[in-house]
Chains A and B, each alone.
Chain A
């Protein structure tokens, strides 16, 4: 088993907490893992990314080689496009929230961005923000996207739920359940496709 994931978004959108949850689940499963992330200056409203590699064998590089990423998991559609050079052209998936986060003056047209994402052979582009909002958890977009991606992660959703519990446990039962519900709602989207 081997899976390479890029998690991306804009600083503060929760891409790095998603990475932490998958890592926790992978560690629980006794898998080898490496997770490289962006810190420091780039976090100030800039694009953030994390390379997450899981395998049942030892992993050499902290960075995913070009053209070998299995899943790009993004909370923002243009950010998903930024990492296409890493994607496995034939078998890779792009799973992304469809709503742009516009904090730059030259953000392209939303339709153009979504059209580019849909050019990829395997993609799920959906309104994760709305699902999160409907659940009363507007900050849960990252968990909804993770839920949709969980179908292709080769990790049981129960393991992810346990990881959410481990990660957010100290914030209380309410926060844990809100995130688990977001995860499950995202999974439903993927299951319907």
Chain B
């Protein structure tokens, strides 16, 4: 029995390799990034020729995964929860096409927003699309569920979602690895030549097929070894624990057995029969979910005229934020242990730009230029440079979603609020900035777009950026005038020069692009260390 020490993310990656994966597709996003990184670093994956490079964004990634499935091979897609929004179009429609080779979508949600701009529960997406969800409670389940997910996907010819959250993604545990590894599929196009042609006439038929599969999927949930009904003597309360919440429930019963019946849910669609059994047997129900109250809402219903349902909606638990053992213990009416309070002198230590970060030099120059205008003109984006919102920089005014800097600056400029400046990272630019830039060029909107090129996707831990070496040619190709594509070096010694360039381009009544270019220091150090090590090994 081989046991490896793996992050939840890594357990998923290793399981996919073992389940006969041919390719993985995704864009970096905390807490999902380590899944693809593991496969990129795996010698086994390399030996099996599993493709794993980063896509430009989640939509292109998911479509490529669907294409690999079309060709008959097993494919996997990964993203953080907000990436599901970017991929929503292929996501919803892939439920209608169905799959050929097994196709598994991983969404890593981030309740409590440790590294995110919102809390979304990706289970809503999967229920909406009417595809099965697997929601592991621990690393071993995550490993085992990937095998199950590919089997389910090929059996029902549907994509399957595996939904995890931060605490599982970024927590390590020993995982037992299977010996019986599956071979990859051979190339084989779908038997039905119309399956992937979503003309209305085909789509209507396919949608009916999807609807017809629902009873079978629910039966799978009912028979799933991941869903369990654990009986208890005290029927005054029944506890439904979804995914990771099951761990927090069990943490409250390490010394004694839980007196209440427990329904552990880790596979959806919701197994109605099991829920009904609990509803019939118990006087009231407590629903524990790591995320939004999806299950609770359904159980409670619009009128809430049945038995008492407790959870996030009635204040038994907080509506927002992740769960923990104490929150769950209190919800059960248990006495929970407490530590000391945090002394009042403890100051927060928010994340900030690293010492010597190129973005800092850019912001210093930009702040000097923008001091000539009224406030509120800098539209920024998602990345390390979002930290420019904090002191001492206070340099940016918006951060909404990937690419929104350019398009929001455009809208503001069109409202007459000029000058309007966009600040976007190199990787974010190729993720979702290019189409916005085209809109600006088509309308010749006066905007200045600062593309911070540190030659890496820095925030998520130095992943390769698809923009590297291509930014000027992309901008020129989209139609920005060559003389208004300016490259500067964000260093103290060029400060005045950089201020001048920014001033000139901001004064220009059209689309201009300024590219501050200097490598991310974290990445540079990492690269140097790796090179040193390589040298040592060669010696």
Contact = CB atoms under 8 A, between A and B. Distances in A.
Interface string B339-367: 11111011111111110000000000000
Given A68-B337, A84-B342, A40 B461 contact: yes
B349 A41 contact: no
Nearest to B349: A47
Contacts of B474: none
B470 interface: no
A146 interface: no
Interface string B180-218: 000000000000000000000000000000000000000
B509 interface: no
A40 B171 contact: no
A140 B337 CA distance: 35
Contacts of B326: 65-66
Interface stretch (B60-68, B223-231, B248-256, B444-452): B248-256
A108 B31 CA distance: 32
Given A27-B5, A61-B325, A66 B460 contact: no
Contacts of B533: 170-171
Q: Is the interface of B mostly helix, strand, loop or mixed?
A: loop
A46 B342 contact: no
A34 B172 contact: yes
A39 to B, nearest CB: 5
A89 B250 contact: no
Interface residues of A, number: 55
A35 interface: yes
A32 B173 CA distance: 8
Contact of A108 (B30, B170, B345, B459): B345
A137 interface: no
Interface residues of B, number: 52
A65 B33 CA distance: 27
Contacts of B351: 11, 41-46
A39 B171 contact: no
Contact of B247 (A24, A62, A172): A62
B475 to A, nearest CB: 28
A37 B325 contact: no
A36 B349 contact: no
B384 A61 contact: no
A96 B404 CA distance: 44
Report, nearest first, the 3 A-B pairs whose CB atoms are least far apart: A40-B30, A67-B337, A40-B115
19 contacts: A23-B172, A34-B171, A35-B172, A39-B34, A39-B461, A42-B114, A44-B351, A59-B173, A60-B251, A60-B254, A61-B324, A66-B326, A69-B339, A85-B339, A85-B340, A85-B341, A88-B337, A104-B350, A108-B345
Interface of B: 3, 5, 30-31, 33-34, 114-115, 167-168, 170-174, 244, 247-251, 254, 324-326, 329, 336-343, 345-354, 384, 387, 459-461, 533, 536-537
